[in-house]
């Protein structure tokens, strides 16, 4: 089974938040597509959860509908190590 990159989880989380915000705003798909800056086909792919959007594109779309995106980068530690030395 292929391992998914960490960015895939971030994209999925942001995609879900965008879909929830669209529901909160009660947008029809054509309205949402226009607000997000997407074509109708792209809107369909977003709704299906297709992993075809870059993180940059999702951040821009989220900002268009009032979602503020913050990112924190933290040091990755080795498994089983608190200090990261192994």
Residue pair 52/45 in contact (Cβ under 8 Å)? The answer is yes
Residue 84: the pLDDT is 47
Instruction: Compute CA 30 distance to the chain's CA centroid, rounded to the nearest angstrom.
Output: 20
Spell out the per-residue pLDDT of the chain, length 86, in tens: 457 788 899 999 999 999 999 999 999 999 999 999 999 999 999 999 999 999 999 999 999 999 999 988 888 776 665 554 44
The secondary structure of residue 82, as a DSSP letter, is: S
Q: Which of 42, 77, 44, 40 is nearest to 57 (CA)?
A: 42
Q: What CA–CA distance (Å, rounded) separates 39 from 49? A: 15
Q: What is 6-64's CATH topology? A: 434 Repressor (Amino-terminal Domain) (1.10.260)
Residue 29: the pLDDT is 94
Residue 80: the pLDDT is 62
Residue pair 78/85 in contact (Cβ under 8 Å)? The answer is yes
Residue 81: the pLDDT is 52
Residue pair 11/49 in contact (Cβ under 8 Å)? The answer is no
């Amino acid at each position: 089974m292929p391992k998914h990159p960490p960015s895939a989880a971030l994209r999925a989380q942001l995609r879900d938040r965008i879909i929830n915000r669209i529901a909160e705003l009660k947008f029809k798909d054509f309205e949402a597509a226009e607000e997000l800056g997407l074509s109708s086909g792209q809107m369909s792919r977003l709704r299906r959860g297709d992993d075809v959007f870059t993180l940059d594109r999702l951040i821009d779309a989220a900002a268009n509908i009032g979602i503020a995106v913050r990112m924190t980068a933290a040091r990755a530690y080795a498994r089983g190590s608190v200090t990261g030395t192994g």
